[in-house]
């Protein structure tokens, strides 16, 4: 259950401002390891920001030549595709400027907490303002055999922002799902661990890298992007979603209906 949504926009100096003037990190949930920061209407986007004009126009590798798949268990896997997108710094700039960011409050057990990150949601891919994301979705749909027709985008403004352990239940209601996540900007740790507990697998996707979770990963495993002590600039994660995967599988009757 969610309550308030506050919209944010980037200023030319790289600071974030909300219409309400509230501190966008105040009240962040302790369950996600985020402390409250000082008051003020603006938040620095990040100290170690990349040069947003350093490379060529964005393009994806439709051959997926660098893909490396890791079997998590007998029915779950994760794939890392380093450098899948070239020109990632240009795409990062476009997404940050055009996505239309919100910071959301949510219920956490018995209290309301503020999510320590910004979010942009496009249930219909046609509404996404960045054309390159349409091309990326088409390439992913062709390669993985899933029609990706929506986007869920998170912005981690710096090393204080994070997301806790979770599975992508809202967009993955089927037992078998394939979920691509494109990283843009700063390198952050991406962790996976079994739902019932155990050792974590640590991936460190760089800007332009693709992480793909497949099989029963959303059912049997959890993933997170933890906060860190080392300074980091902005990171954007683009999650490609599918309306088909977001619908429950039809129930199969245990016994045929009685004849009349």
Q: Cα separation of 131 and 151, whole Å?
A: 13
Across the range 142-171, mean pLDDT stands at: 96
Which pLDDT score, from 0 to 100, does residue 50 have? Answer: 45
Whole-prediction pTM: 0.81
Quickly state the pLDDT bin for 56 (edges 50, 70, 90): confident
Residue 109 has a pLDDT of 79
Task: Judge whether residue 48 has pLDDT over 60.
Answer: no
The winner for highest mean pLDDT among 4-13, 23-32, 208-217 is 208-217
Question: Model confidence over 105-125: pLDDT tens digits?
Answer: 878 778 898 999 999 999 999
Domains, the chain, in order of start with CATH, read: 2-28+67-241 (2.60.120.590)
């Amino acid at each position: 259950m969610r309550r308030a949504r506050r919209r944010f926009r980037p200023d030319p100096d790289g600071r974030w401002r909300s219409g309400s003037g509230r501190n966008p990190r105040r009240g962040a949930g302790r369950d996600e390891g985020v402390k409250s920061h000082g008051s003020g209407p603006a938040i620095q986007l990040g100290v170690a920001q990349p040069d947003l004009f350093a490379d060529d126009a964005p393009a994806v590798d439709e051959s997926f030549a660098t893909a490396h798949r890791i079997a998590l268990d007998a029915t779950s896997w994760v794939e890392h595709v380093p450098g899948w997108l070239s020109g990632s710094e240009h795409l990062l700039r476009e997404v940050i400027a055009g996505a239309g960011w919100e910071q959301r409050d949510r219920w956490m057990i018995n209290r309301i907490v503020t999510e320590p990150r910004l979010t942009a949601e496009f249930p219909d891919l046609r509404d996404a303002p960045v054309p390159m994301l349409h091309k990326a979705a088409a390439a992913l749909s062709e390669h993985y055999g899933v029609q990706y027709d929506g986007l869920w985008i998170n912005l981690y403004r710096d090393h204080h922002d994070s997301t806790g352990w979770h599975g992508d239940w809202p967009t993955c209601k089927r037992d078998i799902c394939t979920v691509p996540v494109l990283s843009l900007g700063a390198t952050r740790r991406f962790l996976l661990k079994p739902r019932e507990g155990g050792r974590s697998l640590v991936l460190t996707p760089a800007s332009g890298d693709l992480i793909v979770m497949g099989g029963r990963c959303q059912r049997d495993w959890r993933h997170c992007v933890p906060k860190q002590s080392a300074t980091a600039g902005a990171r954007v994660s683009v999650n490609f979603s599918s309306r088909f995967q977001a619908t429950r599988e039809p129930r199969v009757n245990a016994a045929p209906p009685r004849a009349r």
